[in-house]
Structure 1
Amino acid sequence: MSLQPHHAWTPAVGGSAHQFTEAWLANRRLSEHTRAAYRRDVTGWLTWCDDNGINPLTATFLDVNTYARRLEARPLAPASVARKLSGVSSWYDFLLKLQAVPVNPVTAADRPHVDRDHSATLGLTPGEVDDLLQAAARGGARTHAMITMLADLGLRVSELIGLDLADMGTERGHRTVRFTAKGGKARRRALTPDTAATLDTWLAERGLAPGPLFRTSTGGRVDRHAVFRLIRRLAADAGITEAGRLSPHSLRHAFATTARAEGVPLEDVQDAMGHADPRTTRRYDRDRHNLDRDPAYTIAAARARRTGS
């Protein structure tokens, strides 16, 4: 595919779609997982353009609309289509800054509506999390430590498997873990005594050689897909309903829901999960519509205390 910009400007990286894409990705602080996802999203768009005789540098919002409708017909969920278009839009924003395109065609496109107050991820009840942890304890030290960290810290799977031994530490009396979160942000979290104990059991077996915290028998880093399979197998062993639909993100949801149900302030849960927008955190709080939490009850109780009624 020839991608020659219709401006006098000539990109230093050359004119191919691959070079544009790699330059765009190199310009952003992203985890390897996010980088791979963005690369797939843009490659999908460029392949569709090539198949339909469309030059991506002169594509219009009508082309993007047609592409989006094709994705929906596959079928893909609205959230998946919106995510793919978001990656393509970011790619065009980069080219716009380089003056390689006159406009970002995704900006005016008809993107699918995504309910920001709802998450399609299947969650877990506190009891189901307990059952999963018991199954993990029977699965060995590494399995127990991995599932415990996902459950008790609400980590993303990419954050978990990206950990190295050097990321473990102690600060002001707290056992801690440092990691790189979404967007390349450096984060740190405290380990509860139980979490630290499961980790110490694994470290006694693993040894203290540098490298991935959770490594395979050959010394490599545990794969994210292996964690997906592990959670579903453990959930099946624990007798959890719809075990085949669970994912590491199910534990992240459970972390947020349980924290809010136990009275942890929204802003503290937001900070723990690394969300820039509190609306994102609220999506994880599956108990937020519980009528027992209606502020009217709190206001009425306060009035009763004041008036003695």
Structure 2
Amino acid sequence: MDFLPAVSEPSPALDVTAAPSVKLRGTPPANSPTALVELLRDAGAAPAVLEATHAWLMRRESDHSRVAYSKDGSWWLAWCAASGTNPARARAIDADQYATALRDSNLAKSTRGRRLAVASAWYEYLVRADVAERNPFAGMDRPSVSADDSPTRGMTSAQLAQMLTYARQNETARTYALLVTLATTAGRIGSVLAATVGAIGHDEGHRVIDLVVKGGNKKRVVLVPLAVDALEAYLAERDQADADEWLFATRTGRPMDEPAAFRLVQRVAKAAGVPHHDALSPHSLRHSYATALLDDGVPLADVQDAMGHADPRTTRRYDRGRGLHRSPSYKMNEKLTKAMHAAEDA
């Protein structure tokens, strides 16, 4: 097959360092299905593409999933706009360059893989709906995430307590309530931020909160007294908040977004004196929940249920993460130290 043009034309110089100037982390370009469709409309997408995209999003099981797909999909559209790529005519090389840009943004492998998977799923649907000819992400190698280790940095129970104590004494009631809720429910940040005031309730004598989890299902989790006290103090400041209002709302009444929560965790951890504050995220509190319970001898199956893991191997990742604390190297250190003292005394 001849890959050269039929007519000889001057070839432009290839600038291998050229890359579109677009920020691929932080606040997503779109945070709802409506905003994603608006991005497409601004890009000049045909009405049939807009209709198909809306249908693709509405197939998701929950509002939470539809928002998550919209956020992840919007990064591809932002990259296309910055690079001058028409999404309708995107090639495999464009998709690969986008994947490279995600990698160069120092995003976690899981985040990069999820964004690429969402973009690919969108094109698969457009092809199925006969509004696109191909999926430029088909057959792409995606970042492999280890099934044995969690890349999330956690905290010891003492560090987590240090952070929460600081927040209770120095931060707003909302900040403290959010951190305590994350630390005591093992809720994913997206689920906690998607909760409404009405999600808090009672069940069989327990205070509970209903969180939307993967698959669009609701999971009822216990609110321990530490979280109940924090939430009640926070809601008292809001003065008669309606049941359908977002639990962790901004001043404008909108829900706090995940980038804001990410910045909040690192800021409070730094102020509290946690040494690796710049490596923490909201997921670090979920990670710390699992490792603290496993350290205290809570059965793996019970931790698995609390974390909402369908596969026990996922929970085992947190169990293996405790290896730093129980490393036999500490025993070796103790043994050598005693032997060296004995040698000095001889």
TM range (shorter): 0.7 to 0.9
Partner of 2:48: 15
| Structure 1 unmatched ranges of 5 or more | 1-12, 295-309
Pairing of 1:214-253 with structure 2 (within 5 A) = 214-217=248-251, 219-253=253-287
Match of 1:281 among 302, 310, 315: 315
Partner of 1:123: 154
In the alignment, the residues of structure 1 paired with residue 209 and residue 106 of structure 2 have an alpha-carbon distance, to the nearest angstrom, of 40
Higher mean Cα deviation, 66-75 or 248-257?
A: 66-75
Contact 2:186 2:285 in 1 (8 A): yes
Q: Secondary structure at the match of 1:111?
A: coil
1:167 CA displacement = 1.0
The one-letter amino acid of 2:304's match is Q
Pairing of 1:290-309 with structure 2 (within 5 A) = none
Partner of 1:176: 208
Partner of 1:93: 124
1:120 CA displacement = 2.5
Match of 1:164 among 196, 200, 211: 196
Match of 2:176 among 139, 144, 149: 144
Please provide the CA RMSD for this pair.
3.3
In the alignment, the residues of structure 1 paired with residue 258 and residue 188 of structure 2 have an alpha-carbon distance, to the nearest angstrom, of 10
In the alignment, the residues of structure 2 paired with residue 75 and residue 187 of structure 1 have an alpha-carbon distance, to the nearest angstrom, of 32
Q: Secondary structure at the match of 1:15?
A: helix
Partner of 2:164: 133
1:125 CA displacement = 1.1
In the alignment, the residues of structure 2 paired with residue 54 and residue 101 of structure 1 have an alpha-carbon distance, to the nearest angstrom, of 7
How many residues matched?
Answer: 278
In the alignment, the residues of structure 2 paired with residue 261 and residue 278 of structure 1 have an alpha-carbon distance, to the nearest angstrom, of 17
Q: Secondary structure at the match of 2:117?
A: helix
The one-letter amino acid of 1:215's match is A
In the alignment, the residues of structure 2 paired with residue 53 and residue 198 of structure 1 have an alpha-carbon distance, to the nearest angstrom, of 46
Contact 1:33 1:158 in 2 (8 A): no
In the alignment, the residues of structure 2 paired with residue 75 and residue 225 of structure 1 have an alpha-carbon distance, to the nearest angstrom, of 15
In the alignment, the residues of structure 1 paired with residue 130 and residue 157 of structure 2 have an alpha-carbon distance, to the nearest angstrom, of 52
Q: 1:171 to 1:82 in 2, by over 3 A?
A: same
Partner of 1:213: 247
Q: 1:75 to 1:179 in 2, by over 3 A?
A: closer
1:166 CA displacement = 1.1
Q: 1:94 to 1:270 in 2, by over 3 A?
A: farther
Q: 1:67 to 1:215 in 2, by over 3 A?
A: closer
Partner of 2:333: none
Provide Cα deviations, 1:184-218, integer angstroms capped at 9, x if missing partner. Answer: 22111011122222222323333333022233455
In the alignment, the residues of structure 2 paired with residue 154 and residue 39 of structure 1 have an alpha-carbon distance, to the nearest angstrom, of 26
1:259 CA displacement = 1.9
1:87 CA displacement = 1.1
Contact 1:124 1:250 in 2 (8 A): yes
Partner of 1:303: none
Q: Is the counterpart of residue 34 in structure 1 residue 68 in structure 2?
A: yes
Partner of 1:8: none
